[in-house]
A and B are shown apart, each in its own frame.
Chain A
């Protein structure tokens, strides 16, 4: 499988160019700082009386969602920065000439890039999330209801934005593709909020805009799925009292992501990867 040769090359590049090391150090610093922040929650006083255990967990769950949002954003940025010059960089600097003259097909080349990047995304997202959850558990004794489901959603979010950046990389320079991918990521996030506002005001058109952005780039839908996995039942009960308006809050999810959406995401990734292969077939290095 020559795709695996390319995948290994991508992973090795990540390790050699100290990308993983830089991310690891920064992530550990962030985890250390947020760990300290979590450790301060039980010391908060409410009119001289300490917080109840339920209150501590509720605050911890909210703080964890905010922290994880930052992580997912860093993950998306890192995935875009690493993926967007993957193919265009090889074509521009000439390394693609030596590789593609070998008995390797374009599909294997693009597929190999994807596999390598997916491994980097999964290792970073899974590792960082697992350590952060472990630290929070150790410091305040709080474990979100669905930690594995959360990690899976965050990895999927990273895979989606990475796959998009890789598609753009088959045609655009790293910088242009990266900027476009990040702008689309932002639009999808805002689209999720806009859709929530539409739901709150019972406006079908605005709701559809939100749904459409969620389908065009499913990162926000996946983020909502991740948030839901972090929310304790008590929080969902409180949040749901706000009615449909709560859907506009990007740090809250009223319902789990439907299975159909999860399947849609798998199909979306396959389709965009297929488009990347198709697009690169016609590209001349």
Chain B
């Protein structure tokens, strides 16, 4: 089956509960095969957006297309859900079943060919590291193990789109690392991953595109590299005499950090020009270091800007 160019597209998607706006006009598009980070503080509307995309909640305004199926066309959306995996933030599975049985129930719900169930279940258990405990009842699992099981459930049937809602909230550092590896493997085989998280380092490590939401609104959306553009460069130079400061100032705002000079507001493509100009004026360049803004810096500054 040929995949649509966009795995998810939303247009002014909104959800209100009485007077409370849970999501206000979400507009975004996620290309097929992308690992997309959906970021925001608690209560920003992230889980609401995921629930709307899965048809678990009904939008009060706007429209969205998931794997080309519009939310408003329930039958088409239902068919599309065969190819969607979902790990809810609140991950709970039938505690009186074993992990293997939970996975088999989901194979049945997806409508996978019964002949492939054993292999599908084995794959999922191996991927999330639950092979040894596959026959134990879920009720005896730790929270982390239940979240691993949830991830296994989401991966069943090789879905085209996987929505992970805070997938590492109950995991230890090893578990978090494992989840990142799973996400990378999914991306490697062309699966679109929608990662809902407030763990910025996690998003920074695996996502190519991100949207930042707050108070039910998207405040920034785009490729991570664009969002985190290097907006400063640190240089260590000697030999710039008269007029040196003026020269540097023409490239951006200056700040001295010991032997270093920081030039702020300089785009990456002008860095070679800056170096060239310094050398032309007789300056000696020992080091040039573009300074990357972290996602956390960017996230906090965006939230501040959004709500002065």
Contacts and interface: CB of A to CB of B under 8 A. Distances in A.
Interface string B26-58: 000000000000000000000000010011111
Contacts of B57: 284
Interface string A94-120: 110111111111000000000000000
Interface stretch (A9-17, A58-66, A160-168, A220-228): A9-17
B51 A98 contact: no
A43 interface: no
A274 interface: no
A285 interface: yes
Contacts of A93: 92
Contacts of B105: 5, 9
Nearest to B94: A95
B109 interface: yes
B243 interface: no
B210 to A, nearest CB: 23
Contact of A101 (B74, B86, B92, B96): B86
B78 A98 contact: no
Contacts of A13: 94, 96
B224 interface: no
Interface in B41-82: 51, 54-58, 74, 78-79, 81-82
Chain A interface mostly helix, strand, loop or mixed?
Answer: helix
Contacts of A100: 55-56
Given A103-B82, A104-B109, A98 B56 contact: no
Interface string B153-180: 1000000000000000000000000000
Contact of A103 (B56, B92, B97, B109): B109
B109 A99 contact: yes
A172 to B, nearest CB: 19
A97 B106 contact: no
Contacts of A9: 94, 105
B277 interface: no
B141 to A, nearest CB: 14
Interface residues of A, number: 22
A246 B106 CA distance: 55
A40 interface: no
A125 B150 CA distance: 37
Interface string A2-31: 100100010011001100000000000000
Contact of A97 (B56, B58, B79, B97): B56
Contact of A94 (B82, B91, B97, B110): B91
A97 B108 contact: no
Contacts of B90: 94, 97
Given A16-B96, A103-B78, A103-B81, A98 B111 contact: no
Contacts of B96: 13, 16-17
B88 A103 contact: no
Contacts of B54: 101
Contacts of A102: 81, 106, 109-110
15 contacts: A2-B108, A2-B111, A5-B108, A16-B96, A94-B92, A97-B92, A98-B88, A102-B81, A102-B106, A103-B79, A103-B111, A105-B74, A282-B58, A284-B51, A285-B56
Given A2-B109, A95-B92, A99-B109, 6 more contacts: A94-B91, A94-B92, A95-B93, A97-B92, A103-B79, A282-B58
Interface of A: 2, 5, 9, 12-13, 16-17, 93-95, 97-105, 282, 284-285
Interface of B: 51, 54-58, 74, 78-79, 81-82, 84, 86, 88, 90-94, 96-97, 105-106, 108-111, 150, 153
